[in-house]
């Protein structure tokens, strides 16, 4: 058991590419932390540096209070599960799981005992004498987990361990990983590009982009209070709709209609000296079929009319897609990156589509001119030039950074340029984050 | 119907071409085999027809060569020199190939280029310098005198084949071994080498065949049967008298040294093809 501390850890490859840029993160003993981000954001490199498979260019890495920058992986007492599982094909499941103990010259009786125990936890007992080639994907994945468990390490590192499984198995194994971590109580760092895994698994989630941590926090906090456009767009599925808006006389003029600014929002914008041109973020789940909204709830939102292009019924709810002229005005760098990551830039799908997630009780049909309602209490307002969430600096009593517990800090680069940042803009130090 | 006709004709065409190729290759081999069973008198048969197969089969040629030290001793040399060269070449090649496949080090391209250069080098141009060097060093007409050049020429082949095999082993296995607490040496011996074993066997077979067949160094760097290998020894066979041609014994010896190769190829055909084409197709 050990806590892991990254202190301004930087990775620069020999060709000069900066993969990880001064990342600082404290992972408490027994905590389950997820590193999530699009491909190329440096999350795997960060994990490899913790593992010792990559050198650290600058900064300090502490495991259990000792600096381990120059320690070989075998001296760090950590186990890793790889995306490809990396099982040794020429060894049986038993030998695979016992390999680390054998290298450590553990007595054979102890090895057998530990392997059998791990096999029992993972339901692998009847497969112990088979070779990896004869196992299914899910079984291989469990062997990879077992190989980490038998060592009883002070921390587990997982590099997208579920991404090679099919969708159904992935959901099962996700629960399994969570159960095992809770049972063993071992510190775990888990890398994924899948925001659903990130949201469901972790105690805390660190969203990364371009080698920097954008925001660290509990999954719900990232969802409710994203610090910038990138986090807002990355967390949540389907992702948040971004709509250009112009602030004028206490109203946001948007292609969806005019949204009156609430008092606290107006104050927040004033305090942040927000520009007139803004980006409004609305989660698909904040839309509703207007006919399903109770009359007394209606004033809390606005209604709009839209022709439904596509309607996807998920059973529990319905996704409605409609088009609005959004492209011009919404061209922040973060959004372009999100589009690339989601593949929207490749499929040529228009960025003009708005997604709404509405109740399954709706009677709307494709092609219909529908009346939709938007809950404006939950909208986010972003500064297009910095990507910062302006609505966050409202009356949530955000403490000054110095007063906040500093168990998690984004690197300075993750924050907006100094000139634009207000003192209270520290993106992660929010009072409702669980104190580790 | 037109399509069926085309395939039928194609089959016929391919069949004819293949038969021609097989006949062209097989006739000299069968001729040697036939000669090895002929009596000295029949070897010089001048009849236009009926000379391909011996009129009278005899084992005398085989009995002759297998009882004389001028063939048995070179055969032992061939086996010994071949096995030692192969062992050393595969050992060195596997380490070099591992480095080529896995590590980024200065001079890697030069190393690969050099090894290719050696493989391409015309051997005949080295015969005279090597002869002089080995005489100066006292290596002439010794086992090491042949083993060293054989290792040198076996290495490029070995590095090339093994590097292709190593490249196909996922790098993550090695990282996993490192995480499991293995030193680089342990990772190589316990994880990588066992997985590359098929590649090593293939390399060993190909290098051994090269050593076994080699003639030029064998004839120019040896002077007695103390180190002369079998292919070279054949050239020094003499007839039972000054006026008898040694064609029969030479043919018999040629058949004897061909047999191991035929056995190798029959048993390891797949491996040899895999070795020659490895890395050509991904996956």
Tell me the pTM: 0.75
pLDDT computed for residue A408 by the predictor:
41
- The answer to the question of residue B35 being in a domain is no
pLDDT tops 80 at residue B271: no
Q: Is A78 on the interface with B (CB under 8 A)?
A: yes
Q: How many domains does chain B have?
A: 1
* Closest residue on chain B to A89 (Cα): B195
**Residue B61 in this model has a pLDDT that exceeds 80:** yes
pLDDT interval class at A412 (50, 70, 90): very low
The answer to whether residue A53 neighbours chain B at the CB level (below 8 Å) is yes
Residue B184 forms contact with A (CB below 8 Å): no
Calpha distance A141→A188 (Å, rounded): 17
Residue B17 lies in a domain: no
DSSP letter at B189 equals: I
Query: For chain B, what percent of residues have pLDDT higher than 90?
Result: 33
Angle among Cα A183, A184, A187 to the nearest 5 degrees reads 125
Residue A394 carries which DSSP code?
S
Contact B175 A103 (CB under 8 A): no
User: What stretches of A226-332 show up as alpha helix (H) in DSSP?
Assistant: 229-234, 263-271
Tell whether B25 is covered by a domain. no
- Which band of pLDDT confidence, cut at 50, 70 and 90, is reported for residue B41? confident
Determine whether the interchain pair A83/B172 forms a contact, defined as Cβ–Cβ distance below 8 Å: yes
Nearest-Cα residue of chain B relative to residue A148: B180
Lowest-confidence region among A84-93, A426-435, B247-256:
A426-435
Burial of B60 (0-12, 13-18, 19+ CB in 10 A): middle
Q: Does the structure show a pLDDT above 60 at A427?
A: no
Least confident of A214-218, B25-29, B48-52: B48-52
Q: Which domain holds residue B126?
A: 62-277
Looking at residue A348, what is its pLDDT?
55
- The DSSP line for A111-122 is HHHHHHHHHHHH
CB A50 within 8 Å of CB A189: yes
Say if residue A167's pLDDT is above 60. yes
Ramachandran assignment for B273, one of left (phi > 0), alpha (psi -120 to 50 degrees), beta (any other): alpha
Residue B131 lies in a domain: yes
Percent of chain A at pLDDT above 90? 42
Residue B133 pLDDT > 80, yes or no? yes
Q: pLDDT tens across A201-239, in order?
A: 989 999 999 999 999 999 999 999 999 999 998 998 888
Enumerate the residues of chain B whose CB falls inside 8 A of the CB of residue A88: 173, 176-177, 191, 195
**Residue B33 domain-assigned?**
no
What pLDDT shows up at residue B22? Answer: 94
Strands lying side by side in the sheet with A4-12: A18-27, A4-12, A58-63, A66-67
The string of pLDDT tens digits covering residues B183-221 is 888 988 898 888 888 888 888 988 999 999 999 999 999
| CB-based contact A279:A273 (threshold 8 Å) | no
> Does B4 reside within a domain?
no
Structure confidence at residue A215 (pLDDT)? 94
Lowest mean pLDDT among A201-215, A268-282, A306-320, A321-335: A321-335
Whether residues B195 and A90 touch (CB distance < 8 A) is answered with yes
Instruction: Identify which of A53, A84, A100 has the shortest CB distance to residue B180.
Output: A100
Identify the pLDDT of residue A297: 85
Q: Which of A102-111, A383-392, B248-257 has the lowest mean pLDDT?
A: A383-392
pLDDT class of A434 with cuts at 50, 70, 90: very low
pLDDT at position B242 is 65
Per-residue model confidence (pLDDT) at position B234: 86
Q: How distant is the Cα of B258 from the closest Cα of chain A, in angstroms?
A: 35
Q: Collect all residues of chain A within an 8 Å Cβ-Cβ radius of residue B178.
A: 52-53, 72-74
The residue among A434 and A201 whose pLDDT is bigger is A201
For B27, counting Cβ atoms within 10 Å of its Cβ (0-12 exposed, 13-18 middle, 19+ buried), the class is exposed
User: A51–B180: do the CB atoms touch at under 8 Å?
Assistant: no
B195 to chain A, any CB pair closer than 8 A? The answer is yes
> Taking CB atoms and an 8 Å limit, are A104 and B181 in contact across chains?
yes
Candidates B181, B197, B200: best to mutate against A (most CBs of A within 10 A) is: B181
**Residue with token string 């839309």:** A287
Distance between CA atoms of residues A29 and A2, nearest Å: 5
- How many Cβ pairs within 8 Å bridge chains A and B? 56
User: Rounded distance, CA B282 to CA A149, Å?
Assistant: 34
Mean pLDDT of A261-288: 87
Q: What mean pLDDT, rounded, does chain A reach?
A: 84
Asked if A261 and A247 count as a contact pair (C-beta separation under 8 A), the reply is yes
What is the least distance, in Å, from the CA of A80 to any CA of chain B?
A: 7
pLDDT exceeds 50 at position A418: no
The 10s digit of each residue's pLDDT in A27-65 is 999 999 999 998 889 999 999 999 999 999 999 999 998
Inter-chain touch A99–B195, beta carbons under 8 Å: no
Q: Is A122 an interface residue toward B (CB < 8 Å)?
A: no
- Chain B interface includes A103 (CB < 8 A): yes
Instruction: Classify residue A24 as left (phi > 0), alpha (psi -120 to 50) or beta.
Output: beta
Q: Count how many Cα atoms sit within 13 Å of the Cα of residue B110 in the half-sphere of its side chain.
A: 3
- B190: which DSSP letter? I
CB distance B170–A84 less than 8 Å?
Answer: yes
DSSP for residue B240: S
d(CA B10, CA B3): 10
Answer whether residue A397 shows pLDDT above 50: no
Q: Which residues pair with A241 in a beta bridge?
A: A282
ipTM confidence score? 0.73
Task: For residues B147 and A340, give the distance between their C-alpha atoms in angstroms, rounded to a whole number.
Answer: 59
Q: Which of A209, A211, A260 is nearest to A232 (CA)?
A: A209
Contact B179 A53 (CB under 8 A): yes
Q: Which residues of A touch B179 (CB under 8 A)?
A: 51, 53, 73-74, 78-80, 100
Question: Per mean pLDDT, which range of A225-229, A428-432, B59-63, B99-103 is the poorest?
Answer: A428-432
**Is A13 part of the contact surface with chain B (CB cutoff 8 Å)?**
no
* Interchain pair A80, B179: CB under 8 A: yes
In this predicted structure, what is the pLDDT of residue A405?
39
For residue B138, give the CATH number of its domain. Answer: 1.10.3720.10
Distance from CA of A325 to the nearest CA of B (A): 47
Q: Which residue of A has its CA nearest to B195?
A: A90
Backbone angles phi, psi at A224, to 5 degrees: -85, -35
Is residue B53, in this structure, part of any structural domain at all? Answer: no
pLDDT at site B282: 34
Task: Tell me which residue of B191, B180, B196, B178 sits closest to A97, measured CA to CA.
Answer: B180
- Picking from B104, B168, B179 by the largest number of A CB atoms within 10 A of its own CB, the best residue to mutate is B179
Q: What is the pLDDT of residue A426?
A: 40
State whether residue B178 sits within 8 Å of chain A by CB. yes
pLDDT number for residue A334: 73
Q: How far is B180 from chain A (nearest CA, A)?
A: 4
Smallest Cβ–Cβ distance between B173 and the set A74, A88, A100 belongs to A88
In a domain, B21, yes or no: no
Inspect the interface and report whether the beta carbons of B179 and A88 lie closer than 8 Å: no
For residue B164, the model assigns a pLDDT of 86
C-alpha span between A189 and A34 (Å, rounded): 6
- Sorting pLDDT into bands at 50, 70 and 90, what band is B86? very high
Query: Taking the CB of residue B267, how many other CB atoms lie within 10 A of it?
Result: 11
Q: What's the gap in Å between the CA of A270 and the closest CA on chain B?
A: 53
Mean pLDDT of A68-97: 91
Confidence of residue B21 (pLDDT cuts 50, 70, 90): very high
Q: Which residue has the higher pLDDT, A352 or B221?
A: B221
pLDDT of residue A345: 58
């Amino acid at each position: 058991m050990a806590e892991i501390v990254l202190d301004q850890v930087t990775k620069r490859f020999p060709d000069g590419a900066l993969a990880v840029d001064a990342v600082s993160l404290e992972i408490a003993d027994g905590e389950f932390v997820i590193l999530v981000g699009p491909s190329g954001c440096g999350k795997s490199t960060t994990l490899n540096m913790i593992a010792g498979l990559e050198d650290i260019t600058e900064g300090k890495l502490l495991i259990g209070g000792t600096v381990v920058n120059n320690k070989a992986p075998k001296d760090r007492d950590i186990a890793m599960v790889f995306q490809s599982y990396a099982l040794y094909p020429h060894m049986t499941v038993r030998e695979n799981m016992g390999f680390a103990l054998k290298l450590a010259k553990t007595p054979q009786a102890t090895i057998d005992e530990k392997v059998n125990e791990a096999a029992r936890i993972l339901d692998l007992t009847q497969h112990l004498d088979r070779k990896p080639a004869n196992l299914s994907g899910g079984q291989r994945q469990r062997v990879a987990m077992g190989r980490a468990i038998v060592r009883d390490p002070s921390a587990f590192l997982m590099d997208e361990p579920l991404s090679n499984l099919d969708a159904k198995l992935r959901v099962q194994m996700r629960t399994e990983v969570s159960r095992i971590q809770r049972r063993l109580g071992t510190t775990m760092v888990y890398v994924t590009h899948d925001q659903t895994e990130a949201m469901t698994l972790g105690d805390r989630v660190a969203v990364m982009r371009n080698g920097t941590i954008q925001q660290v926090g509990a999954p719900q906090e990232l969802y409710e209070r994203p610090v910038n456009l990138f986090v807002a767009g990355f967390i949540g599925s389907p992702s948040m709709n971004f709509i250009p808006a112009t602030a004028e006389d206490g109203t946001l003029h948007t292609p969806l209609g005019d949204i009156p600014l609430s008092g606290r929002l107006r104050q927040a914008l004033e305090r942040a000296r927000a520009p007139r041109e803004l980006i409004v973020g609305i989660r698909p789940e904040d839309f509703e079929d207007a006919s399903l909204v109770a009359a007394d709830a209606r004033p809390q939102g606005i209604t709009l009319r839209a022709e439904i292009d596509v309607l996807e019924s998920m059973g529990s709810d319905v996704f409605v897609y409609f088009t609005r002229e959004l492209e011009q005005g919404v061209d922040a760098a973060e959004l372009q990156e999100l589009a690339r990551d989601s593949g929207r830039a490749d499929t040529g799908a228009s960025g003009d589509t708005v997604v709404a997630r509405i109740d399954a009780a709706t009677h709307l049909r494709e092609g219909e001119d529908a009346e939709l309602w938007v809950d404006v209490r939950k909208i986010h307002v972003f500064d297009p030039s910095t990507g910062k969430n302006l609505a966050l600096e409202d009356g949530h009593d955000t403490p000054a950074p110095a007063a906040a517990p500093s168990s998690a800090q984004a690197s300075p680069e993750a924050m907006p340029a100094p000139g634009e940042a207000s003192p209270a803009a520290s993106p992660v130090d929010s009072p409702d984050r669980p104190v580790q | 119907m037109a399509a069926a006709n085309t395939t039928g004709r194609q089959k016929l065409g391919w069949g004819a071409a293949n038969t021609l190729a097989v006949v062209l290759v097989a006739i000299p081999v069968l001729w040697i085999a036939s000669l090895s069973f002929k009596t000295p008198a029949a070897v010089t048969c001048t009849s236009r027809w009926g000379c391909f197969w011996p009129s009278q089969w005899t084992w005398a040629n085989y009995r002759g060569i297998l009882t004389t030290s001028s063939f048995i001793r070179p055969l032992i040399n061939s086996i010994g020199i071949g096995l030692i060269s192969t062992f050393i070449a595969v050992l060195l090649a596997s380490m070099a190939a591992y480095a080529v496949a896995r590590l980024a080090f200065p001079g890697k391209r030069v190393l690969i280029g050099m090894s290719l250069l050696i493989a391409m080098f015309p051997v005949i141009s080295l015969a005279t310098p090597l002869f002089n060097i080995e005489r100066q060093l006292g290596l002439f007409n010794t086992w090491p005198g042949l083993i060293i050049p054989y290792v040198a020429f076996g290495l490029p082949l070995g590095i090339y084949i093994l590097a292709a095999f190593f490249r196909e082993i996922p790098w993550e296995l090695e990282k996993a071994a490192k995480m499991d607490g293995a030193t680089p040496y342990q990772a190589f011996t316990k994880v990588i080498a066992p997985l590359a074993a098929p590649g090593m066997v293939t390399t060993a077979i190909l290098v051994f065949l090269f050593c076994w067949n080699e003639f030029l160094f064998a004839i120019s760097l040896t002077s007695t049967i103390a180190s002369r290998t079998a292919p070279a020894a054949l050239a020094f066979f003499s007839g039972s008298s000054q006026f008898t041609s040694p064609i029969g014994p030479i043919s018999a010896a040629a058949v004897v040294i061909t047999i191991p190769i035929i056995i190798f190829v029959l048993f390891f055909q797949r491996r040899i093809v895999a070795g020659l084409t490895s890395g050509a197709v991904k996956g």
